Structure 1
Amino acid sequence: MKTRITIILLLCSVCISSAQMRKWTLQECVEYAVENNLTIEQAELDLDNARIDKSDAIGNLLPRLNGDGRLTENVGLSFNPTSQEPVNTQLNFTGNLTSVLDIFDGLRNIRQLQRSKLSAISSQYQLDDLKDDIRLNVANAYLQVLSNKEQLKVFEAQYAVTEQDLLRTKELVESGVVPRGDLLEIEATAATQEQQIINGEGLVLISRVNLAQLLQITDYENFDIADESFEIPPSDILDNSAKVIFDKALTFRNDIKLSESNVDLAKKDLEIAKGAYYPTLSAFINYNTRYSDQNLNPQDLSIIPFTDQLWLFDGLAYGFTLNIPFFNGWSTRNSVKRSKISLQRSQLELEQTKLELESEIQQAHVNVTTFGKAHEAAIKTMEARKLAYEYAKERFNVGLMNSFDFSQAQSRVDNAEADVIRTKYDYIFRLKILEFYFGIPISLN
């Protein structure tokens, strides 16, 4: 009975462990990374700040309303605020309510609002550009896991073939067809392939961890990608020249739009700085009132009540304020100069971004052609190596080839198969990069 319970518990634990192991597709990895990446979350906070700046800019266009009150008690000689007669002590209260509206400030508030809108757009471009980079990095890491897994399968398959060769060689040694040294050579080859399997398992684990870290996942043991293999997808991207791809990339790439928006921001900063040269005109209206315990009713010499005094001694003032900047220690002039330098720097950064993008697209275009040819060459090499291996195997079985030469033929097949896998995924990734520059979303289907 205890044995059956133990078996049931073990099966349950295995089922729970299997349920926890989630197999991630490429699309799921990309979407999860975009939603959970810490750098993207920080960029989203920058976007929130830009929206708050816009709210501040709108607020600067509205009238300002402020109130203040002051309660004081004077001990010693002072004067009645109404009769101006000397008194020893008095309790005073004054209150003000003031509203100010900027009528003209060199258009700085309006341009600050325009700048805040541009800043929000720039933050959105920055966020989208980060998402593009994350998508590319995740796709590359995902394909690396796939490549390492397929190479591991090749190593395991090669080891299985070597085990069969080992059994067959033992029979040939026992029958006296081949010397015992050949058996030792095959055993050494098997040991080398075991080492390749161990190294391959390590590469799979490391690449899985790298992908998990991009996704901000720390449960590495229960993280793995879906068991799917991808073939080279059909694509006509090479029908377009690098110049055509570059011209189209200029119309939608977020890094270009970000640089362009930074130029617009610099231009707006220059306009704001120049606005300080102009006079400022503002309108104000002020309501004030006061109370004093020395304000007496002339009929019975009693203190006039607090609320009555507020109505009796209130007043209203309104007018305009004109401020003309004649000289301010060259601060405005220097601010304009700094803004001009910032504008020039932004324009240079835009041109640099365009040059870098053009260089990346040119390189990506060359890479697709180069890696495509490399993959085709790897396939041809593998097919030739396999034919040579089959021929070597026949010669070895009849004793016309020693074990060392046979092991070398098998090793060349192993390397050729590994090259086919490596060049295939290298080619797929370079193909997807070039398509990405052309505006095609990343997908391996």
Structure 2
Amino acid sequence: MKMNKYMIYFRKIMGMLLLVTASFVVANAQGRVTLQDQPNATVNLDEPLDLEESIGIALRNNPQLKQAELQVQSNGNIYEQSKWQRWPSLSFSASQGFSLGRNVDPFTNQFVQQNIAFNNYQLGSSVVLFGGFQTQNTIKQNSLTLQASQKDLAATRNDVMLNVALGYLQVLSNQELIEVARQQVEATRLQLERSQRLVQAGSLAESALFDLRAQQANDELSLVNAQNNLESAQLSLKQVMNLPGNQEIRVEPMNVGDPSLRAYDATVQEIFETAIQNLPQMQAAKLRTAAAAQAVEVARGARLPTLLLNGGVNTAYSSAAPRERFVADGSGSRTMEVPSASRFIMTNGIRVPVVDVVTIPNGAVRQFGYFDQLDFNRNASFNFSLRVPIFTNYQTRYQISNARIQQMNTEYQGQIVLLQIRQNVEQAYIDMSNSAKRYVATLNQVQAQAEAFRVAESRFGVGAINSAEYNIAKANLDRSRANLVQTKYDYVFRTKILDFYMNRPLTE
């Protein structure tokens, strides 16, 4: 009676386990998100791109970013699987066998001289009741590792965004340099036309025209070089965005403020403190240190005992079992031939059991088929298993030691990341400050060179100076204007880096 209760209870447990397992498989199949499921926003490349659209294209097309996403998914699977380690395992096994000659009948456990076919079926389950808290600590460790990989993904995104911002500003810078070069060509052309009129009027020597034509050729070469530099900058931007080189793109200009009119609104220390709180690489380093600490606890758990609960349901079939079975139902008597379990005779050197004729009252003979035998042979079992580690050849000891070493390594790695952030912030701030100073100095230089060129142009028009002196004044002005454009965008990029450390959007 007790065995029947146990079997009913065990059947309920197995049914619940099968239901939970099936539910998990269905939920996992329906809830899994892959990279291919993510929709991609379409961008019209025939229209000018702003910085936000350029960053969006680069984020969607960057293969390193997709690898980081896959790593997050992999760590997520590891974390989810570790949580399921708390649940019992469930397995089913079946076997088919054949035995020839003298055998033990699996049904009666008696020796028989015949060929036997048999089947065995087993449904088993096992659960760890106590495992030194290794499962719980492993779940925490995998959770921290998953979060660290998510921060790595964010850091990779930031790198892509910074590279796009740099390429975008380089394109804008070269576009302005082209405009400066065109203005230089136009100014030289107009001066050449005025000089030709002066030569025709006899007010200027004809030799001055040769110098101006040479200057015009130099200005046209500068324009070609500026156009080539723009194409190179556009190619670099397209490569960062992972677009083909023959793809035509245009970028929208940005509203760039005057660096001489404002100072950055945060100190170096404020930028550093904000950076270490928000930068994903710093957060990832902290999470890995915490994960390493959990790995030490996992290794320590191997010193503690492990308690398991095992259970199973078994049944078997044998072809040597009788095809008929007497069932007591009060319907009458029945005579049956039953092999003796204790009396045997020797026939041709073979031991054969004596067959007794037995009369069994109040019953009937019924067919005993395949599934009837499986049901008759069904049995269940439970057992507890305790493992106490006493001496493991110092494996646990050195595993703990290595886990502690790894923890110290992650701590030092976190210090390295912190030091790199401080150095990068300090360098970025001084670069921004110096760039602003260079812009102010270059702006003053442009104003001075513009005035000097205005005077030289007037004196050249009346023949007070020669064409060489005029060309020197114009070249100085052209060079200072180009430097002003470059220093302006250099300042903008340095400011964007500080905005990045201050957790501000790059697109503003």
Does the 8 A contact of 1:71 with 1:92 survive in 2?
A: yes
Q: For residue 287 of structure 2, what is the aligned residue in structure 1?
A: 261
Q: Contact 1:44–1:127 at 8 Å: present in 2 too?
A: yes
Is residue 260 of structure 2 the alignment partner of residue 196 of structure 1?
Answer: no
Give the letter aligned to residue 361 of structure 1. V
- For 2:305, give the aligned amino acid: P
Aligned counterparts of 2:301 and 2:413: Cα–Cα separation in 1: 26
> CA–CA distance in 2 between the matches of 1:233 and 1:93?
87
What RMSD over aligned residues (CA atoms) do the two structures have, in Å? 2.0
Match of 1:405 in 2: 469
- Aligned AA for 2:239? Q
Judge conservation of contact 2:102–2:111 (CA < 8 Å) in 1: no
Deviates more, 1:248-257 or 1:220-229: 220-229
Partner of 2:432: 368
Deviations 1:302-337 (A, max 9, x none): 984211111211211101111222333333222222
Aligned partners of 2:507 and 2:209: how far apart in 1? 48
- CA deviations over 1:103-145 (Å, ceiling 9, x no partner): 1111111111112221221121111111112221111111110
- Pairwise mapping of residues 269-280 of structure 1 onto structure 2 (< 5 A)? 269-280=295-306
Tell me the residue number matched to 1:64: 89
Is contact 1:22–1:222 with CA below 8 Å preserved after alignment? no
Paired with 1:273 and 1:148, the residues of 2 have a C-alpha distance of 58
Counterpart CA distance in 2 for 1:151 and 1:347 is 48
Name 1:357's counterpart in structure 2: 421
Contact kept, 8 Å, 1:150 with 1:421, in 2: the verdict is yes
CA distance in 2, matches of 1:171, 1:442: 53
Query: What TM-score does the superposition give when structure 2 sets the normalisation length?
Result: 0.80
Residue 322, structure 1, aligned to residue 386, structure 2: yes
Residues 75 and 90, structure 1, Cα contact 8 Å, conserved in 2: yes
Decide whether the 8 Å contact of 1:94 with 1:289 is kept in 2: yes
Report the equivalent of 1:10: none
Q: Which runs of 5+ in 2 are unaligned?
A: 1-43, 326-335, 339-365
Matched, 1:114 2:114: no
How far apart, in 1, do the equivalents of 2:46 and 2:227 lie?
18
Equivalences for 1:141-160 in 2 at 5 Å? 141-160=167-186
- Cα distance change, pair 277–26 in 1 and its aligned pair in 2 (3 A): same
- Which amino acid in structure 1 is aligned with residue 85 of structure 2? N
Q: CA deviation at 1:153?
A: 0.3
Partner of residue 55 from structure 1, selected from 80, 86, 90: 80
Once residues 237 and 134 of structure 1 are traced to their aligned partners in structure 2, the CA distance between those partners, rounded to angstroms, is 27
4+ long deviations beyond 6 Å = 233-237, 300-303
Q: Please give the alpha-carbon distance, in whole angstroms, between the structure 1 residues aligned to 2:371 and 2:313.
A: 16
Residue 183 of structure 1 corresponds to 209
User: In structure 2, how many angstroms separate the alpha carbons of the residues matched to 1:155 and 1:294?
Assistant: 102
Most deviating of 50-59 and 295-304: 295-304
The CA distance in 2 between the partners of 1:324 and 1:89, in whole Å, is 45
Q: How does the TM-score come out when normalised to structure 1?
A: 0.91
**Counterpart residue identity of residue 269, structure 1:** A
Name 1:421's counterpart in structure 2.
Answer: 485
> Could you say what secondary structure the match of 1:440 adopts?
coil
Aligned-pair distance for 1:398? 1.1
Distance 1:234 1:181, change over 3 A: closer
- Count of residue correspondences: 426
Which moves more between the two structures, 290-299 or 360-369? Answer: 290-299
Give the equivalent residue in structure 2 for 1:26.
Answer: 51
Question: Once the 2 structures are TM-superposed, how far is the Cα of residue 53 of structure 1 from its aligned partner?
Answer: 1.1
Matches within 5 A, 1:10-409: 21-81=46-106, 82-218=108-244, 220-228=246-254, 230-232=256-258, 238-296=264-322, 297=324, 299=336, 304-409=368-473
Unaligned runs of 5+ in 1: 1-18
Q: Per-residue deviation at 1:235?
A: 9.2
166-175 or 398-407: which moved more?
Answer: 166-175
Deviation, structure 1 residue 239:
4.2
Moved more, 236-245 or 115-124: 236-245
Distance in 1 between residues matched to 2:492 and 2:177, nearest whole Å: 16
Report the more deviating stretch, 230-239 or 160-169.
230-239
Larger radius of gyration: 2
What code does the residue aligned with 2:391 have? F
Deviations 1:394-441 (A, max 9, x none): 111111111111111100000000011001011111112112212221
**What is the SS of the residue equivalent to 2:145?**
helix
Contact residue 141 and residue 292 of structure 2 kept, 8 A: no
Q: Hey, what's the Cα distance between the residues in 2 that align with 1:133 and 1:169?
A: 54
* Per-residue deviation, 1:229: 5.2
CA distance in structure 1 between the partners assigned to 2:45 and 2:431 by the alignment: 39
**Alpha-carbon distance in 2 for matches of 1:369, 1:443:** 21
Matches of 2:183 and 2:394, distance apart in 1:
78
Q: Which amino acid aligns with 1:443?
A: T
Superimposed CA distance per residue, residues 49-71 of structure 1 (whole angstroms, 9 cap, x where no aligned partner)? 12211220111110011111111
Task: Report the residue type matching 2:132 in the other structure.
Answer: G
Q: SS at the partner of 2:302?
A: helix
Matched-pair contact (CA < 8 Å) for 1:93–1:291:
yes
Report which of the two has the higher share of helix: 1
